[in-house]
């Protein structure tokens, strides 16, 4: 209900004070504002002052049916909040952004999507630690099931990089390798020194070959390990191992063409006819040979 205080009343002065305080450039929390409003609305008015309700008087209390309808609506809202599960992908993005900064020599992997096996995680950690010990470059591997807030993997990767390493000095030698399971996309972001050390050609090759070739067959561990191997090789000054060869599935036909079917049918027909001729001619030849060679056979 909305109440209109009479001019000159204590409630009116409290309302004006609240409006003035709201205009003041002071950072007040939402709970503080609610407490002030409640205090102003429940403060007893001075003698002689009265408050007029412009929507309903005290005597016009809601009837049983209205109270029942309000209870049903409230119950439905409570059920929706209780049984509707939150968006897991949204929670995953927030969890990654709230993850503590990976420390050097401790951890380099944030496998939120659960795509890496124990062996793949161990291999990646070992390679990334050796890379940092040798060159000073720190590379993180991040996996996520789905992006909701930032659907562009590069934008989300940059956001994580800025969250973990807010200054240029902190993020100059840092890099993030991101893999999104839902869209089967990847992204590589990092500081200027990191990107220059890897090179645009290798970065493009990783994103267009290493990741899609392996992710197409759901080889997520191979996609990340092969990508890290190429990144480490370039930052260490070694030769680039190169992209993987795309496995082309054979598309041999499992059916026969019309010409092949006609040829085989003709061969089958010739064989059948030949067998019929042999089965008829051979007994006749044997019979005539037997008759011709029998001297006692005179036909009488």
3-state class (DSSP) for residue 185: strand
Q: What is the mean pLDDT of residues 196-204?
A: 96
Which range among 42-46, 182-186, 231-235, 273-277 shows the weakest confidence by mean pLDDT? 42-46
Identify the pLDDT of residue 63.
Answer: 62
Separation between Cα atoms, residue 222 and residue 211, nearest integer Å: 9
Separation between Cα atoms, residue 189 and residue 170, nearest integer Å: 14
Maximum Cα–Cα distance across the chain: 158
Q: What is the mean pLDDT of residues 68-72?
A: 59
Identify the pLDDT of residue 256.
Answer: 64
pLDDT at 7 over 50: no
pLDDT tens by residue, 149-190: 888 999 999 999 999 999 999 999 999 999 999 999 999 999
Identify the pLDDT of residue 4.
Answer: 45
Separation between Cα atoms, residue 49 and residue 40, nearest integer Å: 15
Please report which confidence band the pLDDT of residue 284 belongs to, taking 50, 70 and 90 as the band edges.
confident
Structure tokens, 249:
């599935």
Q: What is the mean pLDDT of residues 82-102?
A: 67
Residue 55, phi-psi category: left (phi > 0), alpha (psi -120 to 50), beta (remainder): alpha
Identify the pLDDT of residue 21.
Answer: 44
Angle between helices 30-42 and 10-23 (to 10 degrees): 160
Whole-number mean pLDDT of the chain? 75
Task: State the pTM of this model.
Answer: 0.56
pLDDT at 139 over 50: yes
Percent of the chain with pLDDT over 90: 44
Identify the pLDDT of residue 144.
Answer: 95
Identify the pLDDT of residue 247.
Answer: 66
pLDDT tens by residue, 242-272: 999 876 655 555 666 666 666 777 777 878 8
Separation between Cα atoms, residue 91 and residue 88, nearest integer Å: 5
Structure tokens, 143:
């996996």
Residue scoring higher pLDDT (224 or 288)? 224
Residues of the chain with CATH 3.10.310.50: 90-236
- Angle at CA of residue 61, ends 57 and 63, nearest 5°: 150
What CATH number is given for 90-236 in this structure? 3.10.310.50
Identify the pLDDT of residue 69.
Answer: 59
Q: What is the mean pLDDT of residues 77-93?
A: 49
């Amino acid at each position: 209900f909305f109440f209109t205080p009479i001019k000159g009343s204590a409630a009116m002065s409290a309302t004006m004070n609240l409006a003035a305080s709201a205009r003041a450039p002071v950072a007040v929390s939402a709970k503080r504002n609610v407490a002030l409003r409640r205090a102003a609305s429940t403060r007893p008015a001075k003698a002689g002052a009265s408050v007029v309700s412009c929507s309903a008087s005290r005597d016009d209390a809601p009837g049983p049916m209205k109270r029942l309808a309000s209870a049903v609506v409230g119950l439905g809202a409570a059920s929706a909040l209780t049984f509707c599960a939150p968006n897991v992908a949204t929670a995953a993005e927030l969890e990654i952004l709230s993850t503590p900064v990976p420390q050097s020599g401790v951890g380099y992997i944030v496998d939120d999507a659960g795509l890496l096996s124990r062996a793949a995680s161990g291999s990646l950690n070992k390679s990334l630690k050796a890379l940092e010990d040798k060159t000073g470059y720190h590379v993180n591997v991040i996996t996520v099931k789905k992006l909701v807030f930032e659907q562009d993997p590069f934008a989300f990767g940059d956001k994580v990089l800025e969250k973990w390493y807010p200054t240029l000095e902190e993020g100059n030698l840092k890099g993030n390798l991101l893999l999104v399971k839902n869209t089967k996309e990847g992204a590589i972001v990092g500081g200027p020194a990191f990107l220059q050390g890897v090179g645009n050609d290798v970065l493009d090759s990783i994103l267009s070959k290493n990741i899609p070739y392996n992710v197409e067959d759901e080889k997520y561990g191979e996609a990340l390990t092969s990508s890290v191997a190429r990144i480490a090789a370039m930052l260490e000054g070694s030769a680039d191992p190169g992209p993987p060869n795309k496995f082309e599935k054979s598309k041999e036909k499992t059916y026969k063409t019309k010409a092949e079917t006609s040829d085989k049918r003709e061969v089958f027909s010739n064989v059948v006819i030949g067998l019929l001729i042999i089965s008829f001619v051979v007994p006749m030849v044997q019979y005539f040979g037997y008759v011709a060679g029998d001297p006692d056979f005179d036909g009488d």
